[in-house]
Amino acid sequence: MSVLPEPELLLEANINPVTLLATDYLNHFNEVLMLIEMLPSMPECAEDIVSWRPMCYPDYFEQSTFKEKQLAISLYDSVQPQVRDQLESLVHDIDTKIMGLVERIVSVEGEQSGASFDALAFMASTEIRPLIDRVSALINDTASATDWMLAIDHPTAQDEVDRLFD
């Protein structure tokens, strides 16, 4: 896209006029994260989580009901390369963590109980949510203002999950 729409049009479309990205993409991750966090009290959510698949930004909008999805898709090539690279790197990290949790859910298939999912829900809250927050900050062009708050590492979450599944 050679000529960018006016900032007012982008704001009206819920697309950040600086980054040219839409926060609607976060729904792809927030929905599965919510299901993972509900696993201890609702183990039947496991089936929906196992069916989740990673989706890149343009693919998400292709299948979404987002009103301005064609605009969001068309603007993606105009996103500054460093912003797009950072987005794709963070999304890769989120996808990897979620798919790791999916593998663990599948591994306890016969023993689906709230207790068996406590550690997975904890890991989702402490390791995936901060990554989603970083993507949100990037999309909203507030990353530099919030990076120091989002850089907290939670090494004990993975340790706890590993301990339960060893």
Both structure tokens of 123: 């890991």
Q: Quickly state the pLDDT bin for 103 (edges 50, 70, 90).
A: very high
Q: What is the pTM of this model?
A: 0.82
Average pLDDT value over all residues in the chain: 85
Give residue-wise pLDDT tens across range 66-100.
999 999 999 999 999 999 999 999 999 999 999 99
CB 147 within 8 A of CB 137: yes
pLDDT above 90 coverage of the chain, percent = 64
pLDDT of 13 strictly over 60: yes
Q: How far is CA 146 from CA 24, 130, 165, in A?
A: 20, 11, 34
Tokens of 39: 């696993």
Alpha helices in the chain (DSSP H): 7-12, 27-38, 46-50, 57-63, 69-75, 81-107, 114-123, 129-139, 143-150, 155-165
Which of 31, 136, 26, 139 shows the shortest CA–CA distance to 75? Answer: 139
d(CA 110, CA 13): 45
